[in-house]
Amino acid sequence: FRLADLYIDYDKRIVTVDGNTVHLTPIEYRIIVLLSLNAGTVLTHEFLCRELWGPYVNKSKALRVNVANLRRKIEKDTADPQYILTEIGVGYRLLEDI
């Protein structure tokens, strides 16, 4: 998957930005993979929590923390994200390459 300077190699489980490897936690990696496999589509908090932690766990605060950490690692400016957008009150969307 490639989006501008963000590259995800699913086979090697490697994420790079501007050619530099980004070290992600397992949850952060799963988040970026879920978003990239659904690029352009808003994934709800509920959907992401269910996919990451299972159907009976509400980890919406943990999701927000992990997405914030992920943004710090891949975004040049977290105040003006280029990759992961927040859809307020709904969830998150990874931009798609146009």
Q: What are the pLDDT digits (tens) for 17-52?
A: 999 999 999 999 999 999 999 999 999 999 999 999
Three-class secondary structure assignment of 56-95: CCCCHHHHHHHHHHHHHHHCCCCCCCCCEEEECCCEEEEC
CATH architecture for the domain at 24-94: Orthogonal Bundle (1.10)
Model confidence, pTM: 0.92
pLDDT at 97: 74
Spatial distance between the Cα atoms of 43 and 91, rounded to a whole number of angstroms: 5
Cα(27)–Cα(34) distance, integer angstroms: 10
| Per-domain boundaries in the chain | 24-94
Instruction: Report the pLDDT value the prediction gives residue 76, as an integer from 0 to 100.
Output: 92
Q: What distance in Å separates the CA atoms of residue 98 and residue 57, rounded to the nearest whole number?
A: 35
